[in-house]
Amino acid sequence: MKFAVLVFPGSNCDLDMYHAIKDELGEEAEYVWHDETDLSAYDGILVPGGFSYGDYLRCGAMANQSNVMKEVKKAAEAGKPVLGVCNGFQILTEAGLLPGALLRNRDLKFICKTVELKVENNHTLFTNGYNSDEVISIPIAHGEGNYYCDDATLKQLQDNNQIVFTYNGENPNGSLENIAGIVNERGNVLGMMPHPERAVDELIGGADGLNLFKSIVKQWRESNVN
10 Å CB burial of residue 186 (0-12, 13-18, 19+) is exposed
Whether 27 is catalytic is no
pLDDT value for 57: 83
Whether 71 is catalytic is no
pLDDT value for 35: 95
**CATH code of residue 155:** 3.40.50.880
pLDDT value for 55: 87
Which tens digit of pLDDT belongs to each residue from 9-58?
A: 999 999 999 999 999 999 999 999 999 999 999 999 999 999 999 888 88
Which tens digit of pLDDT belongs to each residue from 181-214?
A: 999 999 999 999 999 999 999 998 999 999 999 9
Coil vs helix vs strand at 98:
coil
pLDDT value for 56: 84
Which tens digit of pLDDT belongs to each residue from 79-119?
A: 999 999 999 999 999 999 999 999 999 999 999 999 999 99
d(CA 15, CA 213): 15
Domain encompassing residue 191: 2-223
The answer to whether residue 226 scores a pLDDT higher than 60 is: no
The answer to whether residue 177 scores a pLDDT higher than 70 is: yes
Q: Which of 13, 59, 86, 149 is catalytic?
A: 86
Q: What is the domain count for the chain?
A: 1
pLDDT value for 224: 85
What beta strand segments (E) does 106-225 contain? 111-119, 135-142, 146-148, 163-167, 179-183, 189-192
pLDDT value for 172: 97
Whether 195 is catalytic is yes
Which tens digit of pLDDT belongs to each residue from 68-88?
A: 999 999 999 999 999 999 999
Helices then strands, counting H and E runs in the chain, come out as: 5, 11
**Residue 197 near residue 15, CB atoms below 8 Å:** no
- Quick one: average pLDDT of 169-179? 97
